[in-house]
Amino acid sequence: MRGRGRLAAAALAACGLALAAPAAPLRARESPALTRKSAAALKHARAIAARLDRRLLLTDSFTRGGAGAPFKGLLGRAGLQPLETAAPNPPAPAFKEILPPLLPEPALARCRFWSVDCQNPTDARYETIAGPAYSANPDGSTNISAEDVVQGDLDDCYFMASLAAVAAAHPDVIRRMIRRNADGTFSVTFYKRTPPWEFWKPEYEKTTVRVDNRFPVEPNDYGPPTPLYAQQGLGGIWPMVAEKAYAAYKGSYGAIDGILADGFASSILELITGKDSAVYPAMIIPARALEGWLKAGAVVVVSTKIDLSPWLGSWAKALPGPLYQNGTLVPTHDYWVKSVNVKKGTVTLGNPWGWDDFTTITMGEFRAELSILYVNPVR
């Protein structure tokens, strides 16, 4: 080790001599003698560095690097370029994404168990959709809103409602979650819960999914193709990027479709925030509890009652309650809680279908007509 240290010191001294020598032609006022001395010093320093490199090549196998890697010597290991012109770094390989498979049609849960009427979408394809990740404010800052989230034909309301809830309360979390890379791709950070037997790891580990701006589209008779799943709202393409990254994370778009695909907002909120979610039956929740959660910065997502008619047909009750029969609520769907008015006893729910789709109901209707409530502290 001491011998290696002496060689390193000598080589770095040689580097210092070489770097200190003039790299440009001398000015007219400098003497020819000084020019000759500088040239001689430069030549001597290069000779010392070359001899040390050859000596280390023969005696120090540790400095060779991986098998077959070219030896670069002390100058390269010290982070210094040799005086001769250095070879340019090879260009980084272009990002090539394995696109998540598209979902079979029609998008019904029974397609998972029966093959009748379940066909691949023949007209669906991937196309590039240009646009910023986030819309810009007049001052140049990014604008993120829950209304940016617009659910498409995919049955992933649990995911889209969770995105909207976090965007409404903590837009900075979304900014940190989705970042645009220099090559135009996007890096999306999720928090993966570690299995209990890996007790030495943190409860949630960061995992990054990289995707580009190619999204599933379908033909449109009246214009360009339209997105098949998450739509492009007024606030940029970040919800589309998040949905595609989650599909890639799970393996396909079909793997995130519906309640049978682990479609629970509690899991998605944990994936976004890295914090544990709590789950409660909606029937026991008072208005002040909702108000307290929202004031503390938590986000709340609620599930409506399930419509069993797609599975049981005429054997099932057509719609589970009066708010579903008059179209106020959508069955088998997730909303996010926007606000609570304790004095009036009302709750305003946001629909992930987007574009200011809000519904206000009484707390009595909330407890009677909704099913499950998911709360996440975010921070």
What would the pLDDT profile of 324-336 be if each residue is shown by its tens digit?
988 899 999 999 9
pLDDT on residue 54: 44
Give the residue from 59, 77, 95 where a domain finishes.
77
CA angle 255, 352, 304 (to 5 degrees): 80
CA nearest 372: which of 346, 333, 338? 333
Residue 141: both structure tokens together: 């800052």
- Domain assignment present for residue 245? The answer is yes
pLDDT on residue 140: 66
Identify the segments of the chain with pLDDT beneath 70.
1-98, 101-122, 139-141, 260-261, 309-319
Question: Based on the domain organization, do 214 and 68 belong to the same domain?
Answer: no
SS3 track for 279-328? EEEHHHCCHHHHHHHHHCCCEEEEEECCCCHHHHHHHCCCCCCHHHHCCC
The overall longest dimension of the chain from CA atoms, in Å, is: 105
- Domain assignment present for residue 89? The answer is no
pLDDT on residue 21: 42
How big is the chain, counted in residues?
379
pLDDT tens digits for 63-90? 333 333 333 333 333 333 333 333 444 4
pLDDT on residue 224: 85
pTM (2 d.p.)? 0.69
Gap between the Cα atoms of 188 and 174, Å rounded: 10
Question: Based on the domain organization, do 11 and 128 belong to the same domain?
Answer: no
CA nearest 240: which of 213, 218, 258? 213
Question: Based on the domain organization, do 41 and 185 belong to the same domain?
Answer: no
Mean pLDDT of the chain: 75
Question: Based on the domain organization, do 52 and 138 belong to the same domain?
Answer: no
pLDDT on residue 211: 93
Boundaries of domain holding 349: 109-376
pLDDT on residue 345: 96
Residue 98: both structure tokens together: 């394995």
Residue 238 and residue 145 in contact, taking contact as beta carbons nearer than 8 Å: no
- Domain assignment present for residue 92? The answer is no
Cβ within 8 Å of residue 69, ≥6 positions away: none
